[in-house]
Structure 1
Amino acid sequence: MGLADQRFSVNLSILFTELPLLERPAAAAAAGFTAVELWWPWPDAPTPEASELDALRTAIETAGVRLTGLNFYAGQLPGPDRGALSLPGEESARFRANIDVTADFAASLGCTALNALYGNRVTGVDPDEQDALALENLVLAARAADRIGAVLLVETLNERESPDYPLVSTPAGVAVVDKVNAATGLGNARFLMDLYHLAMNGEDLPRVIADHADRTGHVQIADCPGRGAPGTGTLPLEELLDRLAAAGYAGWIGLEYKPGDGPSADAFGWLPATARAAR
């Protein structure tokens, strides 16, 4: 296996952000990519106007790229928030209001992976209460994903950058996946393996891949340290992607890294042009 045998998707919430949202799909296409993914693009609006959804859908379709992944509403991201589904009160209600909006938008573009960020711990709130609320909301999200033929992704972040986020190890993320699948009986909850976050946590990445590739619904990459493009840090990302493929993972590899000081179009030199268009 090599880079040309992988399927890459550009995350338009961290790359091409020097451009307005509606111009980013075309910019990714101009860089040679045929697939993109997104965090929830409206951090203040879990239920945006239909015109905003239509405009983004048109931009993606006109660019000729495929939407391969989409986050549910997660609060201010980038920013202080790390999800809403475990937060009692208004934020949890906003997450629930967003579930069908996200699922329906994803379905309209053939997107089959929906990521639900867990949310930070809240001072003064019992963690068990937050976990119970999270499971309720993840069950709702899993059922909405199942309705459109999608998987529900649960992501592990890293403790250094997200100290209040409770899922900061592979076992913690996989345990939530198991709880959701047990509660729904659908089997469509999957682990989002972000190699950057796991590296920041000091995990044994070859072991994580060997043990959990079969439970993984999506992979994201950035080099470590720095969260830059492959080759800017010390992670052997090409070797790790080969290990994933050998372990049976044939899904998308999301490019979720910072482009550096220059334009995003210059941040893909590590990936040959012939390997950018998904086959």
Structure 2
Amino acid sequence: MGETLGCAGIPGAEEQALLDFKDALRIADALDVPNIHVLAGRVDTPASLDVLERNLTRFSEMTHRNILLEPLCRRACENYPYSRLSEAAAIIKKTGIPNLRLMFDTFHVRSEEDDLLGSYLSHSEQIGHVQISSWPDRGMPGPDDLSLNSFLSEVKTEWVGCEFKDPASSARPPKL
């Protein structure tokens, strides 16, 4: 992802975005996973959504796998083109790409939305993947996280991923 947090929406980076997607597709095929997460990148230009939509259309023609859009909250990522579920859902609706789905990350959603479960239920038809962490520190969820426990009891999905910061580790994940 680098410092830009992806590049699928960065004008002038279309070829790099294609190379990145082809790498992700190769890995997804090898592991037989249903989803590929595409990051738009940190951009502050109105053209970024047009670039992103063109890239998403091109990517969707290359695979049957779901392509995930993850809204990234403003407190964690400045200059990202969408921070709310409704903004990413609007991209899905506008493009009409059938395998374009939302990634529902509880940390980012909680940072931008008032009602975690209500947000999930409002967008459940468009959600392709759910991942969790505690809030507001993005740590490992614990038994005392009542709102997350309540949310998980209502989520109707086979898989839930975990993405959290381990304060005891400074290790970085291995490159694939």
Q: TM-score range by the shorter chain?
A: 0.7 to 0.9
The 1-side partners of 2:4 and 2:144 are apart by 26
2:44 is aligned with 1:137:
no
**Retained in 2: the 8 A contact 1:152–1:190?**
yes
- RMSD of aligned C-alpha atoms? 2.1
Determine the structure 1 residue equivalent to 2:107: 196
Residue pairs, 1:34-183, within 5 angstroms: 74=1, 76=2, 80-89=3-12, 91-122=13-44, 125=45, 127=46, 129-146=47-64, 150-180=65-95, 182=96
Match of 1:33 in 2: none
**Quick one: distance in 2 between partners of 1:169 and 1:263?**
29
Q: 2:130 pairs with 214, 219, 229, which one?
A: 219
Which stretches of structure 1, 4 residues or more, deviate above 4 A after TM superposition? 232-235
Q: Match of 1:205?
A: 116
Q: Distance in 1 between matches of 2:139 and 2:21?
A: 31
The total of aligned residue pairs comes to: 171
Identity %: 25
Partners in 2 of 1:263 and 1:163 — Cα distance?
A: 23
**Structure 1: runs of 5 or more not aligned:** 1-73, 265-279
Tell me, in whole angstroms, the C-alpha distance in 2 between the residues paired with 1:159 and 1:113: 24
Deviation at 1:107, TM superposition (A): 0.8
Distance (whole Å) between structure 1 residues aligned to residue 144 and residue 48 of structure 2:
36
Q: How far has the Cα of 1:188 moved from its partner?
A: 0.9
Change (3 A) 1:83 1:263: closer
The 3-state SS of whatever aligns with 2:5 is coil
**Whole-Å Cα distance in 2 between the matches of residues 233 and 162 of structure 1?**
27
CA distance, structure 1, for counterparts of residue 41 and residue 144 of structure 2: 28
- CA positional deviation for 1:158: 0.6
Counterpart of 1:173 in 2: which secondary structure?
helix
Moved more, 150-159 or 229-238: 229-238
**TM-score, length-scaled by structure 1:** 0.57
Larger-gyration structure (1/2): 1
- How far apart in 1 are the matches of 2:81 and 2:90? 12
- Could you tell me whether the CA contact under 8 Å between 2:84 and 2:113 is conserved in 1? no
Task: State the Cα distance separating 1:262 from its structure 2 match.
Answer: 5.6
